[in-house]
Amino acid sequence: MISPGVSLGGRYRLDERIAGGGMGDVWRGTDEVLGRTVAVKILLPALLDEPGFAERFRGEARTMATINHPGVVDVYDYGSDQHLAFLVMEYVEGDALSRTLSRVGRLTPARTMALVAQAADALQAAHTNGIVHRDVKPGNLLVRPNGTLVLTDFGIARSALVGQLTAAGSVLGTASYISPEQASGAVATPASDVYALGVVAYQCLSGHRPFDGATPIEIAMKHVQESPRPLPGDIPPPVRAIVDRAMAKDPAARWATAAAMASVARQAAAGLTTAVQQPAVNGSAMGNRPGSGSPVRNHPPSSTHHRPRSGAPSSGPPGRPGSGYPGQGQARPQYPMPQQPVSGGQARGAASVPPAQQYGNPPGMGQRPAVAENSGGRQVLIVLAVVLALLVLLCAGVISFLLKQNQLGAVGVSSGDTPAARTAALGTGTGAATYRLIRQQAHSLDQASEGRQTL
């Protein structure tokens, strides 16, 4: 009886059952010698009765332990105890791809191709060492939190496929990813792993397996005789071509190697990622003008449109004959404007844009008149006019004040040069000079008068 706390080989304590498959169960355990967490796969007891299984098991376990690749789970140990065969492997923190698909349904083409490229790289590392996985499916693809993928649970036992499919308790999922040649009873080859990985990609893109059936045998025969349902229409043609070739019925028509499949999948993922990022750099949420081949560049990330200035003609502002406003898909300087219907059938908007925002010309257009700069020049002229008017008023006030002072000085002399008048006249430099001139003239007149009296 296998239960938590059981020790295998006097070293590996079973802590928790974490997965199950057609060949056995996987437990999270503890290596009590090294004190580290491990994954222990316990094979089905019936496999031990198969002739030659023990020798194949030991030989392939040794070979797998020599694979040094970040995408292939490390094999630490193997053995048998209490009539059980077990394999001790690296414990990978992460979720199986099957759990992710059950949660989200579908993956994006870019994400799918990135995962397929990693899985194909791992398969190539195994194929180079003479190991065929024979059980590639989402449950055996673990994805770490950082997005890297690890291929695990290699099919150690080379039991006859028909025997596995007809055995009681066989897992339906294994038949869903089986290659046509394996379903026909032939030996699995690296091309069989390529086919299974193509089925995994199909499920990631469509959200379902290519073939369904009531029994594993029915599903396996559909892999041999029928074509899968077409992928959804939103799948890019390059991605569709990669999956179709991987799932070819004839092994010779598939990708020649897992490395070749990894290369094209990685290129497709890079192209899709670039295509997604491109609008964020050069595009606009407002979209391109219908029929135009060039995007409107340097637009703000807004889904609203700006309306033309009130009273402006639909053909554009003065000096820009034939140019369009936002309703025609062209950029323009932005400043607060009254709302008005937009020409060209574009959607209405309600947002205003700060006056300081300036955007470039659409491709193929010449230099636009600097509307905002002319507006700034008019403001400068207005300020200068106001300053000049203030200076004129100030000068007029000074002149008026001086004239009044001169008049007061003259009145003081004509009234007998009283002390008050003299004091007022001497208040400014100009009044004092006038006062002295008048005094001299009065003195001359007095002398002339005295001379006439003497005569």
Say which amino acid occupies 321.
Answer: P
Query: 364-397 burial string, b = 16+ CB within 10 Å, else e?
Result: eeeebeebeeeeeeeeeeeeeeeeeeeeeeeeee
Give me the catalytic one of 74, 135, 153, 193. Answer: 135
d(C-alpha 84, C-alpha 418), whole Å: 138
Task: Answer whether 216's CB lies under 8 Å from 174's CB.
Answer: yes
Residue 74 a catalytic site member: no
Burial class (CB in 10 A: 0-12, 13-18, 19+), 237: exposed
| C-alpha–C-alpha distance, residues 220 and 211, integer Å | 9
At CA 61, angle to CA 56 and CA 263, rounded to 5? 110
Q: Known catalytic residues?
A: 135
